[in-house]
Amino acid sequence: MTDDSQMPSLTTAQNDAMHVAEALCSDRGERLTPARRRVLELLLQAEGPIKAYDLLELLKPGPGAAKPPTVYRALDFLMELGLAHKIEALNAYVSCAHCHDSGGAEIFICTQCDGVEERHGASHSSCAPDGFTIQRSVVEHFGVCARCAA
Amino acid sequence: MTDDSQMPSLTTAQNDAMHVAEALCSDRGERLTPARRRVLELLLQAEGPIKAYDLLELLKPGPGAAKPPTVYRALDFLMELGLAHKIEALNAYVSCAHCHDSGGAEIFICTQCDGVEERHGASHSSCAPDGFTIQRSVVEHFGVCARCAA
DNA sequence: TTTTGAAATGTTATAATATCACACTTGTGA
DNA sequence: TCACAAGTGTGATATTATAACATTTCAAAA
Ligand SMILES: [Zn+2]
Ligand SMILES: [Zn+2]
Ligand SMILES: [Zn+2]
Ligand SMILES: [Zn+2]
């Protein structure tokens, strides 16, 4: 029996993601506290983008019924570490499987199945106005994924 | 004296933009009603992105004190016509000088002066997951403009 | 001209999203 | 042991946006 035994039904991939998160926190000297861990689990288990107040509902059954600041603090923490992203156009959140340092995530959301895929590295500086230095980008594409188009 | 005389201090460029808007509405068989016109004027006069409730405040002095639905309806109308955009990451709105049909706007926001510039036409389909069809994109870049960097 | 019907607006209330402020707890290191 | 910083709990409140339904406006049809 591992010390992940208190987690409810995480898939292998989700379990792996938790371990990556633990390692990342350890590296950075940050603490993956129970509240933060629980929110990350819920993000990993979600089938697509999930809203803060839906997370809040999912946290209700637990020992301490969470209040909004708890969820938003956990989300802020996870986003700082690059373990989660906010989809601005939806006011919703997703876990990030890429564990990149901040910057450069390009998100594709299928409007039929709510599936989210992420890509990195495309530079947008070539389109920028002359002399404009990009510090942070929000790139969110909505459409139909290959599976749903079939 | 022109029949724009009831408008408060619009610059020539802003006046031109109003005429473009009028022409566009005319083309589309849509009506640029006083509420819609007033909101567009305020967007044009704003120095940068402006929030819905700030627009609401600016409308207060007028003959009829506006309520939230008035502002949101006007913004929705203007966005439908491509005369305004929402900046999702700021929950704020800007007028659009490009009068493009919907789709493809790429927005650059200077975090020092709040200036907004818009570019078009960069295709992101090359970065998309295989088989993903993009229907709508949100592309917002935050950084420092040439003027502020100088 | 009158009728009429769709579009637009007014109005009240409320939903949905997010943060503040401050007390308390917890874990860590001097 | 103590002091301190980070994290959390809690209640209130701020911010952003929409629902629902009555009323008005306006132009086209009769
Ligand atoms: Zn990511
Ligand atoms: Zn899909
Ligand atoms: Zn535009
Ligand atoms: Zn600037």
Q: In the A/B pair of chains, how many CB contacts fall below 8 A?
A: 117
Q: Which of B:76-115 have CB within 8 Å of A? A: 88-89, 106, 108, 110-111
- The reported pTM is 0.92
Asked if residue A120 has pLDDT above 60, the reply is yes
Task: Name the segment(s) of chain A with CATH classification 3.30.1490.190.
Answer: 105-149
* Whole-angstrom distance, CA of residue B86 vs CA of residue A106: 19
Instruction: pLDDT tens for chain B, 150 residues: list them.
Output: 434 444 467 889 899 999 999 999 999 999 999 999 999 999 999 989 999 999 999 998 766 689 999 999 999 999 999 999 999 999 999 999 886 764 578 999 999 999 999 998 667 667 899 999 999 999 999 999 999 998
- Closest chain A residue by Cα to residue B138: A140
Chain B: give the shortest CA distance to residue A149, in Å.
8
Task: Name the segment(s) of chain A with CATH classification 1.10.10.10.
Answer: 4-95
CA distances B71 to B17, B64, B75, B91, B150, Å, are 19, 12, 6, 14, 37
What is B105-149's CATH superfamily? Ferric-uptake regulator, C-terminal dimerisarion domain (3.30.1490.190)
Q: Could you report the per-residue pLDDT of A19-39, keeping only the tens digit for each?
A: 999 999 999 999 999 999 999
Report CA dihedral (A48, A52, A54, A57) to the nearest 10 degrees: 140
Q: Could you report the per-residue pLDDT of B121-145, keeping only the tens digit for each?
A: 667 667 899 999 999 999 999 999 9
* Whole-angstrom distance, CA of residue A18 vs CA of residue A75: 15
Q: What is the DSSP letter of A50?
A: B
Please, what's the b/e burial string for A40-52 (b: 16 or more CB within 10 A of its CB; e: otherwise)?
Answer: bbbbbbbeebbeb
Q: Is A4-95 assigned to CATH 1.10.10.10?
A: yes
pLDDT value of residue B100: 72
Please name which of B91, B74, B93 lies closest in space to residue B32, comparing C-alpha atoms.
B74
**Distance CA A51 to C1' C15 in A:** 14
Strands B92-95 and B105-110: unpaired
| Percent above pLDDT 70 for chain B | 87
